[in-house]
């Protein structure tokens, strides 16, 4: 696909769609055009039936994403109007990643800071290399943090750890992030890519409709009861039971073979 910036890379490898933040000179700090590129790639993968899992990573080996590209702030985040546009662009991209109809994995190596944490939290799972570090330094920059960003962190680590992360604005080690539940897995650095590739492949081999239904149901479960959509919840379950994949899954089990799911 053709993107407006070369600082975002989209690569399709079988059932895995890779998204790479490609700004290693700035530790993959995210510019306005990179936020736009993230949205475009997610939209493309969402509409591609061959892509079953999305993996997000950073280029260069030293950072996942080190935050927003602060060098742009004077031009693109210096007035109420430009700040609102910048924030809306970033929110649009992260919400697209959060709500895409496929499982997502953040593959984290090195620094994961500020907006990098927000991007990682928009993914369903976070797998990090030993030696990675995490921080949300808003309090050191005087930045306001939107409710959606705070809520995402609270949903993952709980209110006490969320307060600690925001109040101290310090860097946390990978081991601390694992203990808080900020990451799902912490693996040796030289295993990271092969581990994530195998993990993604194992998810891709499962029934896509079932996996998508669980993503929907988890999102609904996190909402207040008054905001849940019971019909949607039942519809995604019914769709699984009415699918050809359900037939295939039963037959494969009885025949003691691996199922071949098509997402139909």
CATH for 16? 3.90.226.10
261, part of any domain: no
Give yes or no: residues 66 and 121 share one domain. Answer: yes
Give yes or no: residues 18 and 118 share one domain. Answer: yes
Reduced to 3 states, what is the DSSP secondary structure of residue 188?
Answer: coil
Residue pair 121/97 in contact by the 8 Å Cβ criterion: no
Look at residue 69 in the predicted model and tell me its pLDDT.
75
Give yes or no: residues 56 and 108 share one domain. Answer: yes
40, part of any domain: yes
Give yes or no: residues 93 and 19 share one domain. Answer: yes
Give yes or no: residues 178 and 221 share one domain. Answer: no
116, part of any domain: yes
Look at residue 158 in the predicted model and tell me its pLDDT.
95
Domain boundary among 203, 222, 244: 203
CA 11 centroid distance within chain: 16
Give yes or no: residues 130 and 228 share one domain. Answer: no
Look at residue 78 in the predicted model and tell me its pLDDT.
58
Digit-by-digit pLDDT tens for the chain (264 residues) are 777 789 999 999 999 999 999 999 999 999 989 999 999 999 999 999 999 999 999 999 999 999 877 766 665 565 677 678 878 888 899 999 999 999 999 999 999 999 899 999 999 999 999 999 999 998 988 878 888 889 989 999 999 999 999 999 999 999 999 999 999 999 999 999 999 999 999 999 999 999 999 999 999 998 889 999 999 999 999 999 999 999 999 999 999 999 999 989
Look at residue 75 in the predicted model and tell me its pLDDT.
59
Query: Can you give the residue range of the structural domain that contains 33?
Result: 8-203
Q: In what order do the strands lie in the sheet with 63-65?
A: 63-65, 111-113, 133-135, 172-173
| Number of domains present in the structure of the chain | 2
38, part of any domain: yes
Look at residue 155 in the predicted model and tell me its pLDDT.
92
Give yes or no: residues 121 and 86 share one domain. Answer: yes
Residues 6+ apart with CB under 8 A from 76: 32, 82, 85, 86
264, part of any domain: no
Look at residue 2 in the predicted model and tell me its pLDDT.
73
Give yes or no: residues 142 and 240 share one domain. Answer: no
Give yes or no: residues 40 and 15 share one domain. Answer: yes
Give yes or no: residues 246 and 119 share one domain. Answer: no
Q: In what order do the strands lie in the sheet with 53-58?
A: 8-13, 16-21, 53-58, 104-108, 125-129, 185-187
127, part of any domain: yes
Indicate yes or no: pTM above 0.85. Answer: yes
1, part of any domain: no
Give yes or no: residues 181 and 148 share one domain. Answer: yes
């Amino acid at each position: 696909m053709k993107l407006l910036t070369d600082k975002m890379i989209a690569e399709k490898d079988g059932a895995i769609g890779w998204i790479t933040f490609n700004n290693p000179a700035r530790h993959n700090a995210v510019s306005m055009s990179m936020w736009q590129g993230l949205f475009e790639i997610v939209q493309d993968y969402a509409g591609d039936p061959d892509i079953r899992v999305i993996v997000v990573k950073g280029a260069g080996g030293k950072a996942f994403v080190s935050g927003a590209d602060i060098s742009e702030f004077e031009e693109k985040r210096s007035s109420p109007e430009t700040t609102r546009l910048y924030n809306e662009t970033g929110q649009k991209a992260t919400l697209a990643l959060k709500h895409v109809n496929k499982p997502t994995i953040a593959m984290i190596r090195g620094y994961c800071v500020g907006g990098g944490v927000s991007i990682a939290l928009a993914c369903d799972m976070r797998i990090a290399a030993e030696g990675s570090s995490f921080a949300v330094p808003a309090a050191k920059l005087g930045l306001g943090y939107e409710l959606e960003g705070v809520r995402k962190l609270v949903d993952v680590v709980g209110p006490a750890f969320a307060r600690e992360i925001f109040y101290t604005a310090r860097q946390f080690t990978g081991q601390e992030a694992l203990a808080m539940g900020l990451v799902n897995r912490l693996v040796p650095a030289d295993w990271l890519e092969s581990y994530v590739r195998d993990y993604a492949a194992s998810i891709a081999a499962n029934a896509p409709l079932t996996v998508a239904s669980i993503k929907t149901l988890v999102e609904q479960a996190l909402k207040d009861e008054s905001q849940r959509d019971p019909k949607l919840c039942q519809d995604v379950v019914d769709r699984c039971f009415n699918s050809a994949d359900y037939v295939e899954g039963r037959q494969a089990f009885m025949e003691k073979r691996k199922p071949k799911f098509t997402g139909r």
